[in-house]
Every structure is written in structure tokens, then in C-alpha cells.
Amino acid sequence: MKKQKTVMRHVRLAGMGKALAGGELCFAGEKRYRLRAGETFSDLMYQASCRALAAAGMEIEDMDCIVCATATPVQAIPCNAALLHERLAKGLDIPAFDVNSTCTSFVTALDVLSCMTEMGRYRRVLIVSGDMASAALNPAQRESYELFSDGAAACVLTAAAEEDCGILYSRQKTWSEGAHDTEIRGGGSALPVFSMEKGNRPDYYFDMKGSRILKLCARKLPDFLNLCLREAGVRREDIDLVVPHQASRALDVMMPRLGFPKGTYVNRVSCYGNLISASIPYALCETAEEGRLQRGHLVLLIGTAAGLTCNFMLLRY
């Protein structure tokens, strides 16, 4: 295995914002949130963005770049960031593009944009995540139908002057033996929208094989995490807060296997389930608002996603 060069990036999560859909459902005592009539997913991305900018004390005019780190599109064309630009920045010429590694898109985008920021290519970036899960949930698959909420979260990432603030380490891996454990087979070139008929309708729904994903994660993640901690020179006890992707209730099975007992990591699955690409930034924003996440804390982000892709990122908040 190639050794990963540790690359410090002096960046700051200057402000975060979040938005949850307004419609409430309840499954086995747990609430889930889905878009209500008259509400659009673009509204959520817009709200989360405005809140992140306000929290950072900035205006959209201050941004050098708008990035949507999302798993699914608002329209098939153009990219989500161009459509968000239309709501947020019409008349301005801020560049806009999308980054997609499904549920871990936000962590990938932090990885990518922090490098661009460190290089001076951009100085202030708005990163927005979120998906409308309810657009493709299959009522016949209870495991996934009852798991997801529609939500968005945003973050203003800026170049930081402080030496002790930023991304200390990041590493991503994809194991494509899991490529079909979490998928929507239809809607792209493999099975275009116009090929939908009565018999293949389920192929256009989200399809999750929960126990297969869990097994693959259990096989791959512990070694990968140990490698990352070793390369970063960080021990588990140095970490102030662990924010994993809010994948499912199985979080309480997986996290102890990674050496993080209950209470050391954020688990909000019972509150709003899985928010797809918004899961991690939503939880980050929430813990910051609650005061659990504080400036100077060492945070470990653990992104897991369809692919199967996993990101580990060490962040001095």
C-alpha cells in the first residue's frame, strides 16, 4: 500500500447552516422529515446556504466558488451548483460546480476544496450538501423507506491565518465490490428514464442491501482507520469528537468495532435518520450550535457511501 503524504490545509469552517424538510412522518417512534406540499428541495439548499453565510458573517458576494456536494441532481442538467447559483447569486459570476461521491460527497468536497484553498486558487467557498431522498424511496423496501429524511446543510470554507486550524489529514478509498449494495439502477445511461415501464419500475427506486454493506464496512474500515491514525500520528484519545455518516441504526454496531464506544461519536439516526450527503455537515452544524463542537476541537469525520467509498478526515475545528 502506498504511503499517503500528510498535507496540512489551513482552512476554517467559518460558518454552517442547515435545513430540514417541513413534513413529518413517524416510524417505530422515530421521526423522519420529507418535503411537504409547496416546498422544494432547492428551498432547503437555499435556506441552509443563507444560514451558513449568516453564521460566517458573510454575503454571497464574498464567495469565490459555489460547490454542491450532493449525491443526486435537482435537474438532470445543469449541475446543482449552477441551479443554486440561480437562487443565490444570479447576476454574479461566481464559479459553480458539483462534487459527488454519494453520501460522503461533503467530505470529498472538503478534501478537494481545502487543497484549492491552500493553493490560493479559491479563498472562500460555499459548500452545500443535501438530497431529496423521498424522490426515489421505495415504499416496498421498509428498511430504506423508513430510514431517510430530506435535508440540506451548508458550510463556508475559508483560508485560515491560524496555524492550528484546518485539515490535518484526509484519505479516501473506494471498494467497488460494493458498487451495487447501495444503488438506483435506473435514471442514467445504463437504464434511461425513457426505458421505465411497469415491469422495471423498482429499478428506478433506491435499493439498499443493508447487511451486505455492514459486512463490507466491518471487513474494510477497521484496518483503514488504523492506517489513517498511524499516518496522521493521532491516537483515538486525542480526538474530541467523531462525526460519522448517519448511515443507519447499525452505527452503534459499527462504531465500537472502530474503537469508538457509545458516547464518543455523534448518533442522530433516531432524530432524523439518514440525510444522504447532508448527514455529516448537518450533524457538524448541529453539534456546533449545541456547543458540543468547539473551536480548537480535533474532529474525525467518517464518511461512508455507496461505492463503497469511505473517507477519513481529521479536522482541527
Q: Where in the sequence numbering do the catalytic residues fall?
A: 103, 245, 274
Q: What part of residues 96-125 is at the interface with a copy of itself (CB under 8 A)?
A: 96-102, 105, 108, 111-112, 115-116, 118-121
Q: Please tell me the total number of residues recorded for the chain in this structure.
A: 317
Whose CA is closest to 96, among 72, 63, 74? 63
What is the CA 272 to chain-centroid distance, rounded? 15
Residue from 19, 20, 48, 89 that binds a copy of itself (CB under 8 A)? Answer: 89
**Burial bucket for residue 35 (CB in 10 Å: 0-12, 13-18, 19+):** buried
Strand, helix or coil for residue 237: helix
In the complex, what is the shortest distance from the CB of residue 24 to a copy of itself, in angstroms, rounded to a whole number? 19
Residue from 190, 199, 235, 291 that binds a copy of itself (CB under 8 A)? Answer: 190
Q: Is 286 in the site for a copy of itself (CB under 8 A)?
A: no
Q: Is 73 in the site for a copy of itself (CB under 8 A)?
A: yes
Strand, helix or coil for residue 257: helix
Tell me how many degrees the CA angle 173-176-181 measures, rounded to the nearest 5: 115
Whose CA is closest to 152, among 21, 24, 304? 21
Q: What part of residues 128-157 is at the interface with a copy of itself (CB under 8 A)?
A: 131-132, 135-136
Q: Which stretch binds a copy of itself (CB under 8 A): 139-147, 191-199, 211-219, 231-239?
A: 191-199
Q: What part of residues 209-268 is at the interface with a copy of itself (CB under 8 A)?
A: 220
In the complex, what is the shortest distance from the CB of residue 161 to a copy of itself, in angstroms, rounded to a whole number? 16
**Burial bucket for residue 272 (CB in 10 Å: 0-12, 13-18, 19+):** buried
Q: What part of residues 2-41 is at the interface with a copy of itself (CB under 8 A)?
A: 2, 5, 7, 9, 40-41
Nearer CB in complex with a copy of itself: 59/93: 93
